[in-house]
Structure formats: structure tokens, C-alpha cells
Structure 1
Amino acid sequence: MPRFAANVTMLFTEVPMLARPDLAREAGFDGIEVLFPYDHAPKDWQAALSGMPVALINTHPGDWAAGDRGHAAVPGETDAFRASFSRAADLAAQLGAGRIHVMAGVARGPAAEATYVENLAWAAAQVPDLHLTIEPLNPDDMPGYFLNDFDQAARIVDDLALPNLGIQFDLWHAARIHGDADAVWARHKTRVNHIQIAGFPGRNEPGGGGFDLTGLCAELDRTDYPGWISAEYLPARATVHGLMWLAALKGRARLIGA
């Protein structure tokens, strides 16, 4: 049955970051993901997690305020990318994170794609026991981001054919980019190694928008999906007051597993 992770960068923001894993555990999540865990020492994360699994972390984006969104596809920034990736891989090992989202950065054109492909191949070879993900981000929320289309991501994943590289399927971005998240899922689900959910069109609590989360869970049960479903959304109110969706989906999963 699917495992559910709380994105503690976006959820439980009523409390400081290192207090959020405990709230996620109490709320019924099986693990957490965190976008950028670099502001706290590994030992402090380990204490805060207290055994809570970490589904995914991102590579460090660089100077966010200056416009950096990662370096993997940015020509001339290979050294910065490799340093960033090595830092992420070391932290993932210390936290037990099973996946690293490799952020592409702001770039465009053939040189950017060639840089991206080379850096992905290098990164995958460094961590053969970890899953790497690439995530298309919609251009309204992330202007200029190199990876902005799921068909583009699928072509890159297929061309590289690396066993530990897959697509991060974010329902919100799939709907924003392509208009029909169901169709994106149908085309690319065999390439997916991490799932993120949110409501559409408001990016609040999961549900609505024409995407059947109950059906998704049933399909993942049938296919023995080994990854996570992560809640990455903007709570409409205090996080703990909007978790009916989690209780419903986990309740359904318990019935199937009984």
C-alpha cells in the first residue's frame, strides 16, 4: 500500500522546521520530505526525525534570491552542480533519504540539455543505491526553468535509461503545464519514482480538480509501487485541521491490506 509523506517545507509551518516531523508523525504520515534541509546540521535533523523516514530532499538551488533554481542544466556551472549534488548525497546518506530531486536550474536550448544529460548521468553513477528524480515545473510558478514539460522529461529519462533515474510526478505541475493531470499520469506513470499531490486549482488540500486520488491509490496497490505519495500543498488553514483526505486515503489502504 502507498506510503504517505508530509512535505514539511510547506506543511506544519505553524511550528519551527525541526518540530514538524513530530507533528507529521502524530498526524498519521509515514514519513516526510523536505525541499532544502541545509539550514540545520545533520545531527539536529537526526534528533528531530527520531527515526521518521525521509522520502526525498532536493539538491541545493544556489542563491534563490538571486534567481538560482539549481545548476544541473546550466552551461558553465558543472562544478557548482557537482558540489551541490555531492552535498545533497552526503546529507541524504546521513538522514536516510531514499530520493534526491535534481534541480535543473534556469536555462534553455541545446547546450542546456547537453549539460543536463551529462550531469544526470554523472550524478546517477555517484549514488547507484539512491533514486534520482527530475521534476517538470510550470513556467508560471518557475519562469525560465529548464525542465518545464513532462514529455520532455520522459524523453530525457528514456534516452539515459538509467535504473535509478525517474520522473517526479507532481499533480499540481502536471495540471498547470498540460491541463489534464490524468492524461500525463497515463502517459508517463511507468517512468515515475515519486508522486506529489495537491488540490487543483488552488494548490490547497488534496482532492478535486478531476484527479481521482482513490483510484490512484488503488492502481498503486495493484502495481506494488515502491515509492511515496507526498503531500506538497499550501494548507488553507492550520495543517492539522485539513487532513481529512489523509485519513480517508489511509483508511482505504488499510481496508485493502486487511
Structure 2
Amino acid sequence: MPKLAANLSMLFTELPFIERFGAAAKAGFKGVEYLFPYAYDAQEIKQELDKHGLTQVLFNLPAGDWDGGERGIGANPERVNEFRAGLEMAISYARVLGCDQINCLAGIQPEKFSEQEAEATLVANLKYAAKALNEEGIRLVAEAINTRDIPGFVLNNTKQGLSILEKVGSSNLKIQYDIYHMQIMEGDIAPTLSEHIESIGHIQLADNPGRHEPGTGELNYKFLFQHIDSIGYDGWIGCEYKPLTTTEEGLTWLKSHGA
């Protein structure tokens, strides 16, 4: 069974953020991830990780005005300096939290620029970030997100992600493969994982439709967990789903899926 990390931006949201670490540990999770740590003191988060024996698995680079609808700045030619400043902030948090993997959100296609200009900016930013993070012993991943939930998202399928990896040309950049997003965009989950597992640095899950916990939709996660083990993936899988009812009630899937 793969290692499962609780996504604290989606799970235990009935609790204040800092209290979610203890709730995740109590539920049996050994690792945590979330969107961003930057609104909190890094030492305060570190105390919670240590107190509950949790691994900080992943968080995202700063992604612009999230509450205002921005979903990343990695592909915006006007935001390169902001991207680099955010990278430095992310590194400072990762050092404290012991986090060895950070995700880049490409963002929504900027209206003022062409798709080619956006992709060129993303490639350049990823080259810069992969090099800087490599010097810190931190891996960079980039996530493809479906265009139904986030219309216009620049990076939105596996083929495009692989093309970006090739253009960046760094061994320190991998794909963050979100099963939910890729089920919407392309399906064929198990064969895609098999063919490209060496290019995948992190996996996330949710069922479809609804983005709820495994067992609520069309995906056969019992099969997928066995498949992921069989192809040799030894990283974490982030549970980035919206509980159908409450987090606690929804956690019954862990037992039914042998987690």
C-alpha cells in the first residue's frame, strides 16, 4: 500500500489550520501536504510536525492572489520577479519544515500573452527553480490541472507535462500526477502511470465525479493502489479530496481499501 499524506487544505477543514496536524495524525496519516504555509510561522508548523510525528511531504510555490482567483504565476511573463521572490520564500519554509518537494502551479493563461509566450515563461521559470531547489536538496514538481475546474489552466495534461520536462531538461523536475485531474482530461490512468512513472515525482488522489474520497465515484482505487505498488512507485500519495460529508465520516475508505 502506498504511503498516504493528508492534504490539510481539503481535509479536517472544520478545524483551525494548526489543529489539523494533530487530527491527521490521529486518523493514521504519517505525512501531510497543503496548498501554502506562508500565512503561518514556519516554526509553529514545525512544532506540530514534530509533536505528531508527521512528515511534511509537499506544498506549493506562492501562486499569486489565490483568494482573488489567481491559480499560479509560473507562466506569466509579467510576474517573473515575483516568481523568483516566491521561490526564495518557499525555500526558507522548506528548510525549516524539512520538506524535500515543492510544487509549481503554472496558472491560468494570461490574456495579454500567447500560449507560446506563456509556455516559454513557464519553461524558463522551471529551469531557474529546478536549479535553485536542487542546490537545497529539494525536488521540484509541476502539476497538470483539468480545465473544467480551472478553465484556461496552462498545464493541463500528461503529454504537455512530459514536453515541458523535456524542454526544461533538469533531472530535478518531475510531474505531479493528480489522478482526479487526469481522469477528467484523459483517463487511462493505470497505463499512463506505468509508462511514465519515472517522470512522476508525486501522486495525488480524489474520486470522480465530485472530487470526493475513494469509493464515491467511478475510479477503482483498490486496483489503482495495487497497480501503483506493482510498478515500483515508493513516494507519497496526497489525499486531496473534498469529503462527501465530514472528514471523519469519510475516512472509512482507508479501512475498506486496506490503507
User: TM-score w.r.t. structure 1 length?
Assistant: 0.90
The alpha carbon displacement at 1:11 in A equals: 0.2
**Alpha-carbon distance between aligned partners in 1 of 2:60 and 2:187, rounded to the nearest angstrom:** 26
Return the match for 2:121 from 102, 115, 118.
115
Match of 2:197 in 1: 189
> Does the Cα contact within 8 Å between 1:70 and 1:81 map onto a contact in 2?
no
After TM superposition, list the pairs within 5 Å mapping 1:55-204 onto structure 2: 55-107=57-109, 108-128=114-134, 129-204=137-212
> Does the Cα contact within 8 Å between 1:75 and 1:115 map onto a contact in 2?
yes
After TM superposition, list the pairs within 5 Å mapping 1:215-234 onto structure 2: 215-234=223-242
> Does the Cα contact within 8 Å between 1:174 and 1:184 map onto a contact in 2?
no
Aligned with 2:182: secondary structure? Answer: helix
> Does the Cα contact within 8 Å between 1:12 and 1:20 map onto a contact in 2?
yes
* More divergent stretch after superposition (39-48 vs 157-166): 157-166
Cα–Cα, structure 1 residues 184 and 208, in superposed 2: closer, same or farther, change >3 Å? Answer: farther
**Alpha-carbon distance between aligned partners in 2 of 1:250 and 1:236, rounded to the nearest angstrom:** 20
Aligned length: 251
> Does the Cα contact within 8 Å between 1:60 and 1:85 map onto a contact in 2?
yes
The alpha carbon displacement at 1:176 in A equals: 1.5
**Alpha-carbon distance between aligned partners in 2 of 1:161 and 1:217, rounded to the nearest angstrom:** 30
> Does the Cα contact within 8 Å between 2:5 and 2:31 map onto a contact in 1?
yes
The alpha carbon displacement at 1:222 in A equals: 3.5
2:235 maps to a residue whose letter is G
Q: Deviations over 1:44-91 (max 9, x none)?
A: 111222241011100111112443222211112110110111111211
Q: Deviations over 1:197-254 (max 9, x none)?
A: 1111111111354433233333333344231011100001121111122224445xxx
**Alpha-carbon distance between aligned partners in 1 of 2:121 and 2:214, rounded to the nearest angstrom:** 35
Q: Deviations over 1:158-185 (max 9, x none)?
A: 3333222111111110011124434543
Match of 2:31 in 1: 31
Matched, 1:43 2:51: no
Aligned with 2:154: secondary structure? Answer: coil
**Alpha-carbon distance between aligned partners in 1 of 2:238 and 2:258, rounded to the nearest angstrom:** 13
Match of 1:239 in 2: 247
After TM superposition, list the pairs within 5 Å mapping 1:1-20 onto structure 2: 1-20=1-20
**Alpha-carbon distance between aligned partners in 1 of 2:152 and 2:166, rounded to the nearest angstrom:** 23
**Alpha-carbon distance between aligned partners in 2 of 1:249 and 1:33, rounded to the nearest angstrom:** 21
User: TM-score w.r.t. structure 2 length?
Assistant: 0.89
**Alpha-carbon distance between aligned partners in 1 of 2:2 and 2:94, rounded to the nearest angstrom:** 21
Cα–Cα, structure 1 residues 211 and 186, in superposed 2: closer, same or farther, change >3 Å? Answer: farther
Cα–Cα, structure 1 residues 34 and 127, in superposed 2: closer, same or farther, change >3 Å? Answer: same
1:113 maps to a residue whose letter is E
Cα–Cα, structure 1 residues 239 and 209, in superposed 2: closer, same or farther, change >3 Å? Answer: closer
> Does the Cα contact within 8 Å between 1:104 and 1:147 map onto a contact in 2?
yes
Q: Deviations over 1:19-39 (max 9, x none)?
A: 011111111111100111111
**Alpha-carbon distance between aligned partners in 1 of 2:193 and 2:233, rounded to the nearest angstrom:** 14
Match of 1:256 in 2: none
1:194 maps to a residue whose letter is H
**Alpha-carbon distance between aligned partners in 2 of 1:200 and 1:90, rounded to the nearest angstrom:** 36
Structure 1 runs not aligned, ≥5 long: 252-258
